[in-house]
Amino acid sequence: MSYTGPGFDPPQPRRSRRGPLTVALAALVPGALLGWAVYAAVGGPGGDEGSAGASASASGTPTAGSSPSASADDTKPGASASAKSPSAPAGSGALKGKVVVIDPGHNPGNFRHTADISRQVDIGTNRKECDTTGTATNDGYAEAEFTLDVAHRMRTLLERQGATVKLTQDADRPFGPCVDERARIGNEAKADAVVSIHADGSGTGNRGFHVILPGAVHSGAADTRAIVEPSGDLGERIAGDFVRVTGSAPSNYIGDGTGLVTREDLGGLNLSTVPKVFIECGNMRDSKDAALLTSGAWRQKAAQGISDGIVGFLRG
């Protein structure tokens, strides 16, 4: 997902939330930063990143499942974990009774339905396009393929923990769903957590991930006031675990090195009534980030880091 184009308001700086949770998380920031710095120093992915900064995550966050070794096929951009790791039935485990909705950004078929996805829908604050085609690497690996692959890997990890996992789309429809329907799917599932998976389409040299948190919106059909606090907790945990597992640094071009950005112009967040965040896992238009995003082994780490953050949030 790129910020360029009509209808996107400038990202808003993250609003601080005071309270015991904020104080506790702030105390853990040096540990998260140190963990990334050590990883980078020994040559981990993203180790040459010039900007460093991370959100805090409680140490010892439960692991959602062990990462399988990448096979030769797994390193291909189009290799999907769904074919290799069939879903495990939910029912037992630490997340028994919890519902997680994964929202793979865009849809591989959107480019065939540009008129359909261009129609305007109500996002509470105003009206926006139903969806977009998303971005792609310079070699043509589509964001929609990336998001679906990571979603499949996350589903396997979370179902192993006993969670009930639902996807907003699984390339099982010609296009979409629209952003308002994506929010509605999470709401109707009464999800305990929703994560929308994306990759950015920014300029060359812009690297790293960032997590997008909902701002306090109360307009029209949108009222996020009740979910701002828990969504912030979810986002902070995901950011911390993403650093820990992938070794990737927070974005060097947005979020002031924290890996956290607050926005009030995204319908998928504005219309949510349950805790929800977006994650931009990297910049597809930068060759170094693209090398990570097109690696099946790295996508497994990305899925693990996001899943670990969800597990930590749901276990409290």
Structural domains for the chain: 20-59+90-315 (3.40.630.40)
Give the active site residue among 49, 159, 264, 280. 280
Residue range 291-298: mean pLDDT, rounded: 98
Position 162 pLDDT exceeds 90? yes
pLDDT top residue among 178 and 87: 178
**Count of beta carbons in the 10 Å neighbourhood of residue 260:** 25
The verdict on whether 145 is a catalytic residue reads no
Identify the CA nearest to 255 among candidates 11, 1, 5, 8: 11
Which residues does 166 contact at the CB level (< 8 Å), separation at least 6?
Answer: 99, 100, 101, 102, 185, 189, 191
Q: Does the pLDDT value for residue 281 go beyond 50?
A: yes
175-207 pLDDT per residue, tens:
999 999 999 999 999 999 999 999 999 999 999
Q: Which amino acid is at 167?
A: L
For the segment 110-126, the average pLDDT, to the nearest whole number, is: 97
- Tell me how far apart the 2 most distant CA atoms of the chain are, in Å: 51
Structure tokens at 167: 């996807």
Least confident residue range of 61-70, 146-155, 228-237, 251-260: 61-70
Quote the tokens at residue 199: 């990759």
Average pLDDT over residues 98-107: 98
Residue 217 has pLDDT above 90, yes or no: yes
Q: Where are the alpha helices (DSSP H) in 175-270?
A: 179-188, 228-246, 267-270
At 211 the pLDDT is 98
pTM over 0.85, yes/no: no
Integer CA distances (angstroms), 290 to 5, 34, 287, 295, 304, in order: 21, 25, 5, 9, 19
Among 119, 68, 72, 128, CA closest to 266? 128
Lowest mean pLDDT among 29-33, 106-110, 240-244: 29-33
Over residues 225-235, the mean pLDDT reads 98
Which pLDDT score is estimated for 10? Answer: 40
Binned at pLDDT 50, 70 and 90, residue 77 comes out as low
Range with lowest mean pLDDT among 17-26, 194-203, 233-242, 281-290: 17-26
Asked, as a colleague might, if the bond just before 20 is cis with ω within 30 of 0, I would say no
Percent of the chain exceeding pLDDT 90 equals 70
- Residue 52 three-state SS: coil
Written as one string, the DSSP assignment of 57-82 is: --TTPPPSSPPPPPPTGGGSTT--GG
What stretches of 54-191 adopt beta strand conformation (E)? 99-104, 120-122, 127-129, 164-167
The C-alpha atoms of residue 235 and residue 250 are separated, in whole angstroms, by: 13
Task: Give the mean pLDDT of the chain.
Answer: 81
Say what the pLDDT of residue 11 is. 43
Cβ atoms of 183 and 268 within 8 Å: the answer is: yes
Question: What is the model's pLDDT at position 63?
Answer: 41
Distance CA 37, CA 51 (A): 10
Distance in angstroms (rounded) separating the CA atoms of residues 133 and 3? 13
